[in-house]
Every structure is written in C-alpha cells, then in structure tokens.
Structure 1
Amino acid sequence: MGEANTDAASAEQLAQRYRSLVEHTPDAICVHEAGTVVFVNPAMVRLLGARSADDLLGMPIVRFVDPDSIPAMLERIDQLTAEGAASPPTEMDLVRIDGRTVPVQTVSVLTAWQDKLAYQVVVHDLTAQRAAEASARRAEAHFTTVVSQLEEGVLVIDPRGRLESINPAGKRILGIDDATPVIGRRVDELPVTLIDRNGQPLPTDRHPMAHTLATGEAVTQYIFGVEHADGTQVWLSCNCRLLNPDSPDSSGVSSFADITEFRASRRQLEYQATHDALTGLANRSLILSQLSAALADEDGSLVTTVLFIDLDGFKAINDTLGHAIGDTVLQIVAQRLQRALRAEDLVGRLGGDEFLVLLAGHPQRADLPGLIERLRTTMAEPIIARGHRLEVSASIGVTELGPHEHRTPEAVLHDADLAMYRDKPSGHRDLGLGQNRRSNNTHAS
C-alpha cells in the first residue's frame, strides 16, 4: 500500500513538473483531439493573439491554420499511427485571432490525452527569424546593387584561388566580355595577362590576393598592370582583404581601380619636371642631379668626362631672325648631339644655348679629341630653318673626373664653363690633353 502511494506521489510530481514546463516554455504548445483544440499553453495564447485560453479551447484546429497549409498538415498527422510517433519539423503559417498570419515551425506528436489519443503540437514562432532573413536579403540585394553600380572593380576569390563573383566594372576594367564564362575559373585561367610595375609577367602566386589568402593580411594600393586579350594595357591600384577575417577558410575580396590615365599623367608630369620643354633633353635640374650622383660614385665609373657646349653667335640669330628660328636651331642642335653620342651618355640643356654632356664609362683619353671634333663637325653642318640657311659653330669645354672626386657639381660646371670660354673663337683652341692638364682636371678643348 505504501509503495503504491509512493508511486502515485512520484507520478504527480512528474506531472506537476511537466505542467510547469509547458506553462513557462517560450514555445507555443497546443493539443487537438478529433480536430478540436483541447489545450493551449500561455505562449500559444500570445502567439494567436487571444485574450485567454477560453478564446481558443473548443475551436476547430483548422481555424488557426492558413488554408494553404491545411492539406499538408492533415496528411502529416494521418501518418502518425502509433502513440509517441512524431512528424518531422515543418514550416507552415498559422492564422491569429485578428486574421494576421504567423510563420511557424511545428512538430506534432501522437500522445495519450485523458485516456484518448490526441495530437500535441509544439509550435516555434519564426517571425523574428523570417524578419532577419528578409533583412539579410535586402542587405544582400542592396550590396549587390551598390557593387554592380561601382566604377571600381570588385571580385571575390575563394580559398582555392577560384573566382566566386565579379561586378560589371571589374569585367570592363579587365576587358572580359559578358559572354565569357569566368565564375569558377582560377585567376591564371582568365583571359588577361598580369604584369608587374616593370612590365614583366606577374605570377599569380605573387599577386597580393595570393598573399592575403595565405596569410590573412590585407594589402592596400598595390600597383600592377593587366594586358587584355587584344593587347590593350591598363594599370590598376588594388586592395585585397578577407571577407571574414575571423574564418580561416574565408574567401578574399579585391577592389581595384583603373589608374592608367593617372599613371600616364604622373609620368608626364615627372618627365616635364626633368626635361627641357623645347628640346626634350634633360633639363638643368636632372643633368646636375646625375652629375651629383656620378661624383658620389667611389670608383668614378658612372661619368668620366663632362663637356660644356655653347653655340657661337646664337644671340645674333635670335636678334636678326627671331626667337622662332632660334628655337628651331636649338631643337636641331639637340637632335644632332643625341645622334653623335652613345646611348649611355647623357646630354642636357642648361638654358639658352648652353648644353652639358656627361660621358659615361671609361673612354680612352686618346679617343676624346676625335669625339670633340666629331661634335664640332656635326653641329657645323648647315641648318635650314624656315627658309634660312644657317651655320652654327660650337665652343666646347672639357673637364675630366677622377676617382674619389672632391669637387661639387657647381665646381665641375664652373671649370667646364671656363674651359668652354677658352675655346671661343676669340681665344685659343687647344685640347691640351696630356700637356696642359690643370690640377683641377679641367682643360680647354
């Protein structure tokens, strides 16, 4: 007898705990028997928007199920033939008291209810989840729209180096036709050739995206070139980073902009800053900078001889024929100087009709008189400028640089200038190689 009372008490305690769990669980629970609602917990009352359980008890269960979901629901519960059998979790729509629908996930269990079989249904509200999913879809659609409208190229590469996505600007910048399938292909399989800053082929394993995928480190403002299938070349500035830095298997995203025009403009500006606008020769700043670098060279092999060249009687040409003809003469003289010198020699215009030549390497001293005479002969050839036949001679001053040269560029220029003045027609013209070499390595030509 005592044993039976103990069992009854234990069963009552278990039932009490179950009722407490059902009452306080956040998931909605209802029981329907023969199609009629016979039990609802407080969460179900809230879910269906009822004032109390009395608004729901005794009502047909289909009253609270969206008509489109009823056939599938009836089919599922018909398949539950044994007590304890449960249906798989299924998404469906319920209908609240006020007529609004609620997306839910349900599981139905065939269970004993007051000595009869009934269906106990556990209902999980999906409203928040659906809202989050809709928000994510809107954000993704917004992101996709924004990315597709960008002037900057954007592509995503998976950890295996295969293209996951690319926006229209990316295809345009890379010269990829819309009809060309590229998704799923490796970067080295795309119809483009990557080149580095020096115009040499850029292996894909040296591309910044390879570095980012391998290390997780972001790379910014990396400059490289792309050669299209038609031979067109563009220059890009790109940034690479992981889509999800917290994931070791994250894909990488690269954004890149076409800087071809900017790069060309910058190079043009750099050229203009270091070259004479009239003749195209190195300007005073560049030629003196190169001379300074040569003087700093310990073994003195960069530049061994400096020539200072001044045109004789050039002022008379400007005064009598005008500056336009004078400019033409300077341009022709510049071309002749370049043709007469080696590619490794540098010739620049100091200003007016003055030119400076830096002879590279180790020319034989015996060859220097021949070079000077060749320059004189070249520049003495008649010049035809706008119908005028002109003859222009040049005075040339020479100064040699020795190893461990201690003179400044200005001092070298001064010495070469003095040597040039001694070479003017009114003075003597003696190269003085060997005989009259000055202690400061300057001599007249």
Structure 2
Amino acid sequence: MHNSHETSHDSGISTSTAAAGASAASFRGLSESSPYAVLVHDRGRVVYANAAAMSLTMAESAEQMVGALITDFVHPAAILSALTASGDSGQASAPVMSVLLRRDGTTLDVEVTTVPTPWEGRAAHQTVLREMTRPTSVHGTAVDHEMHIRHAPAAIMTTTVGGVITGWNVAAERLFGRAAFDALGQPVRETLGVELDLAAVAAEGRARDLIGHTVTGAAVPVRVSVAEVDASYILICTDRTDAHDTTQHYQSVVTSLDRGIVVINRDGTIASINPAAIRILGPGAGRFPSTHAERALDYPVFDTEGNMVPSPQRPANITLRTGQPVLGQVLGLRRHDGHQSWISFTTTPLNPHEPGRSPVVMSLTDVTTEHLTALHLRHTAHHDALTGLPNRARTLAMITAAMTPSDHPRLAALMFIDIDQLKRINDSFGHHVGDLVLQACGERLQGAIRATDTLTRVGGDEFVVLVAAPASASDLHQVAQRLHHALENPVVIDMHTITISASIGVAGVDPTRPTTPTDLLRQADAAMYQAKATGLGETRFFSVHTATARHRSDTAARHSYTLPEHRS
C-alpha cells in the first residue's frame, strides 16, 4: 500500500481560489450535460445554474439566477422539506413534489431532489428539478444516466457500502492510469492508492484533498467528494495538479503586474501584497502580510485639494464598511521615507455576490507623472507664462467669484496698472529687455500689495490688483502709493539703467450700485486712462466724469471684451 497524505478542509478555511475554481469547473462540465435542471445554492442563494435550469425557468442568462434566492423559483416548503431530509449525511433527499415559478409568471409541476454538495470549499446544496410533464422511461433514464457518468469530465466512481468499486468512468481511467476492468471489484484503497473513510467524508459533506497514486505508483494530488446514495457511494475526483498550475499562473501574472495589488481581509489584516504594491508603498511594505492595514498603511493621505483624508474615508475602508467599490480615486500619499506620490486607488469586493462578507482587493497605480502634468497644464491655462501671475481669464473668474452676492463682501476695489512707456523701452532696447522689465515690475508690485490682495497680469503692459474687502478710501490710497513706491528705483538690465513708472486707475465696488465684473474692470481701465492723461506715475479714482471722458476718447470699443496688449 502506498503512503498517503490526507487533509480535511473545513468550510471555515478558504482554499486556493484557483483550485476551488477547478473543482467547480469539473462539476459544471458534469452538470451542463445533464438533461435535468441543476441548481447549486449556498445559504439559500443560487451560486450555479446549468443550461437545463435556465431553460426550465426561462432565464436568459445565468446572471438572472445567480445571487437570487432558491425560494424565488421553488416553493419554500419543498426546499425546507428536501433540506431537512438530506440533512448533513451527504445523502440525497427523497423526491418532493413542488411548483416551479418561471420568470414569465407561469408555473410548472416539478420533482425536487436535494443533496449536500461541496462548492468552492464550502458546504452547499445541489437541487435537481425534473419537470413532471417530461416523458421519461425507466430504461431511457438509466441509459442516459449511464452515458452521462461514463463520459463526464470528472473522475466518477461508484462503490458498495464496503468500499468496493462498482463503477469507473473514462476520466477515472485517465486520472489513475487504471482501466475499468482492472478497477471494478477492487477496494477503493487499491484503486485510488490511498486510505479513505467513505462514510466519514460523506458525513462531513466537504471535499478532501489527498495524495492518490496511479497504477505505476506515481503520486496524484486529488480532491475527493463523496455522497451516499441508495446504500452505495459516489466519488467525484478532480486533479489538483491543474488547479495548482492555474494558481501558479495566476500568482505569476499578479507578481508581474505594474499595478500594485493588495488583498485585505475582513478583519482589516493584509492577506497578500504584490511587488508592485511594495514598490509604490515603500521599502517597508514587504513586512505587511498579516499586519493590520490601519497600521501597515498609516501614511498621510490627502486629496487633490491638499486636504487630509481621515482613515474611515479612505477607499479600502469605504469598501470594507459598505461593500461598495471605489473606482479610480486619486489621492496623494506621503511615505515614511519622505517620498510623495499621487496614487489612483480602486477597491472592490473580492466576491461581488457577498460584498458585506468578502475581502477587499485594492489596486494601486502610480499616476504621479500624469497628475503633475495635469496640474502643470491647468496652471499654464490660468497663469501668465512670463510672470507666473494669474492671467486675464483667471482674473475675470476671480473677480466674478469675489463679486458673488454674500453676507460678507470679498472685493473692495480693482486697481488697473499700466506700465508707462513700455513701447519706448521695447523699441530702444528690444523686446527681450522689455520682458525682463515686466518680470521685474511683477515681482515689485507683488511685494507691495497686502497679503489679502491679489496681483494679476491681464495684458502686455497691464496688471490688475484685486483689493480684498474691507478697504476704506484711505486704505486704497495707501495701496496705490506703495505700488508707485515699488517702481521708483530704476531697473538695471544688460548695463542699461531703465526708469519705470505706472499709471493706476481705481474702481471701487459700490454695493448700492450693482455692476458686472467686466464693467468694473472697464471702470478701472477708464480711471487708469485718466491718470495717464495727467502725467506719468499718477493715480485716479473712477467717477461718472471719468467714464464720460473715457467714452469720448473713442477707445472704449476695443476694451469691450479683449484687453489691449500695449500702451505707451
């Protein structure tokens, strides 16, 4: 007799997903060729339906059945009776008459038989439905059943109560290398090459993983399910070698992914983490498996606005708590080594059919380059390339936001600043020098305004100051004086000493006389022209007289929407 290794799989311990899938695949192959409707249900919910079941219930696809209650199709009394009759013994229940409710609302008389069935490492139940109006004969059914078992993809054996082989299909011949005529009449321990307590396995209602042996003595890792039917046993064996190869392939694929993959258990501990996730999360991430995620992933996390994201609002915890997926949420991550990156998080339940009980799969993609590029493009779209100040479009948006009616006014006035004689500077020294002069003016003006005010560039030689409320007339005069003072000292560029000054127009916000952002900007522009008309380096405040004079100047038309590029 060969040495053997036998392991009992408790339903509370999850086995390899790939191995369980291989076992389920064998069962599906067996069931799909059955002429009878087969439904597998776990804790009352359908987890599998064969083609005959879909046809009988008039379902268009398995998705319409999987996840539904078995009692949505079969009367609860019949299911309860069948479950009670089958119990945990592994034996099939006696047939129970019932009524099947189809998806179109019609009903059929059916015969219901239920037997405990292992499903993906758990104790489930298989219910077989036979339409009572279906013509059958004892001989025909027996022949169909025999052919069905003979050519099933899984190794199927039948034995006496004492464990003597009475049936041995083609798949069993392939798996154990033993022809049917050599197996029939032999004890299970000889044909499978392993000791197996059939009654005990049938009573457990769970599959066992063990090492069988071929006729030549080669080891065969198999998973065996046993059911007692009519004073005999039926054994279904699946080859775990294929399942192991599938698992290895799955692990190789996950390991080679550029995307980080972290599986988090229901208790918050990390079940697995691939190399890409370790690379993204930092050098210490390799110690994460079996560590609680709250401790292992205790990094500062912030959103795209820079706000810290508390632990309960992070993607994995949201999915663990609600069962709902979080897709592609971009968050900032500051690792313990000081490295800061932007990560796209996607978290989904590992088992979408039981989101409230399922572990969570978290995928991580480093999108730092893409995010920073997007930020740069967004900044470029709203800021002047020469000075780095907000541009004209951004200026109008900020004025509009600041003038939105509220209990606390945010804008006191606009100051329109025009650099005097910039055209002469460009003509005398070249546009390169003119650009450097504008940069110097921007830096000096920025240093002269209050911390609550905002400086922008709206045209070639034009700047605007948004003066924040509150600001009195005296405050506005003081701000204007500081702006003039900031430009008093000449600018030295390429050995050239260049004197600069500015004309400033001021338009205050009058709550009693509502105006639009564009009109307010025009008013400040008109006041600036009045200042320029009286000499260099002057300031004027907007008034009705100023507006009238500005209108007569015949240049208001070109300021209706697009601001001018240069003034001398």
- Cα distance in 1 for residues equivalent to 2:276 and 2:390: 40
Deviation (angstroms), 1:224:
1.8
- Cα distance in 2 for residues equivalent to 1:361 and 1:333: 25
Aligned length: 377
CA contact (8 A) 2:268 2:294 kept: no
Partner residue of 1:322 out of 427, 430, 455: 430
Residue 379 and residue 93 in structure 1: after superposition, are their counterparts in 2 closer, same or farther (change >3 A)? same
- Cα distance in 2 for residues equivalent to 1:350 and 1:45: 86
CA contact (8 A) 2:502 2:538 kept: no
Confirm whether residue 304 of structure 1 aligns to residue 412 of structure 2.
yes
- Cα distance in 1 for residues equivalent to 2:302 and 2:522: 43
- Cα distance in 2 for residues equivalent to 1:276 and 1:106: 73
Confirm whether residue 438 of structure 1 aligns to residue 564 of structure 2.
no
Residue 324 and residue 102 in structure 1: after superposition, are their counterparts in 2 closer, same or farther (change >3 A)? closer
Residue 236 and residue 441 in structure 1: after superposition, are their counterparts in 2 closer, same or farther (change >3 A)? farther
Confirm whether residue 206 of structure 1 aligns to residue 313 of structure 2.
yes
Deviation (angstroms), 1:177:
3.5
Partner of 1:156: 263
Q: Secondary structure at the match of 2:390?
A: coil
Q: Secondary structure at the match of 1:296?
A: coil
Deviation (angstroms), 1:228:
1.1
Partner of 1:95: 215
Residue 324 and residue 288 in structure 1: after superposition, are their counterparts in 2 closer, same or farther (change >3 A)? same
Cα RMSD between the aligned structures?
4.1
Deviation (angstroms), 1:44:
4.7
Structure 2 unaligned blocks of 5 or more: 1-141, 150-155, 198-207, 227-231, 551-568
Residue identity matched to 1:237: S
Partner of 2:288: 182
TM-score normalized by the length of structure 1: 0.73
TM-score normalized by the length of structure 2: 0.58
Partner of 2:158: 28
CA contact (8 A) 1:284 1:349 kept: yes
Cα shift readout 1:230-285 (whole Å, capped 9, x = no counterpart): 11111111111110123342111111111111111111111111110001111011
Partner of 1:216: 323
Deviation (angstroms), 1:299:
5.0
Cα shift readout 1:344-392 (whole Å, capped 9, x = no counterpart): 2111111111111110011121232232122112112111112110101
Residue 106 and residue 428 in structure 1: after superposition, are their counterparts in 2 closer, same or farther (change >3 A)? closer
Partner of 1:261: 369
Deviation (angstroms), 1:169:
0.4
Deviation (angstroms), 1:147:
1.1
Residues 7-18 of structure 1 aligned to structure 2 (within 5 Å): none
CA contact (8 A) 2:501 2:537 kept: no
Residue 239 and residue 376 in structure 1: after superposition, are their counterparts in 2 closer, same or farther (change >3 A)? same
CA contact (8 A) 2:266 2:357 kept: yes
CA contact (8 A) 2:225 2:236 kept: no
Structure 1 unaligned blocks of 5 or more: 1-20, 33-38, 77-87, 108-121
Cα shift readout 1:95-120 (whole Å, capped 9, x = no counterpart): 39xx999979799xxxxxxxxxxxxx
Q: Secondary structure at the match of 2:300?
A: strand
Residues 64-75 of structure 1 aligned to structure 2 (within 5 Å): 65=190, 69=193
Deviation (angstroms), 1:437:
4.3
Deviation (angstroms), 1:135:
3.6
Residue 103 and residue 426 in structure 1: after superposition, are their counterparts in 2 closer, same or farther (change >3 A)? closer
- Cα distance in 2 for residues equivalent to 1:225 and 1:409: 36
Partner residue of 2:446 out of 338, 341, 357: 338
- Cα distance in 2 for residues equivalent to 1:218 and 1:379: 57
Partner of 1:235: 342
Q: Secondary structure at the match of 1:351?
A: coil
Cα shift readout 1:170-200 (whole Å, capped 9, x = no counterpart): 010011346x421111122126513121445
Report % sequence identity.
Answer: 31
Partner of 1:84: none
- Cα distance in 1 for residues equivalent to 2:258 and 2:223: 43
Q: Secondary structure at the match of 1:278?
A: coil
Confirm whether residue 252 of structure 1 aligns to residue 360 of structure 2.
yes
Deviation (angstroms), 1:148:
0.8
Residue 50 and residue 219 in structure 1: after superposition, are their counterparts in 2 closer, same or farther (change >3 A)? closer
CA contact (8 A) 1:399 1:442 kept: no
Residue 370 and residue 184 in structure 1: after superposition, are their counterparts in 2 closer, same or farther (change >3 A)? same
Cα shift readout 1:268-317 (whole Å, capped 9, x = no counterpart): 11111111000111101111111122233345721111111111111010
Q: Secondary structure at the match of 2:352?
A: coil
Confirm whether residue 355 of structure 1 aligns to residue 463 of structure 2.
yes
Cα shift readout 1:46-96 (whole Å, capped 9, x = no counterpart): 76676869x978xxx69x947x949x79xx9xxxxxxxxxxx998643539
- Cα distance in 2 for residues equivalent to 1:442 and 1:185: 75
Residue 100 and residue 167 in structure 1: after superposition, are their counterparts in 2 closer, same or farther (change >3 A)? closer
- Cα distance in 1 for residues equivalent to 2:297 and 2:322: 27
Partner of 1:390: 498
- Cα distance in 2 for residues equivalent to 1:437 and 1:365: 14
Q: Secondary structure at the match of 1:223?
A: strand
Partner of 2:302: 196
Partner of 1:272: 380
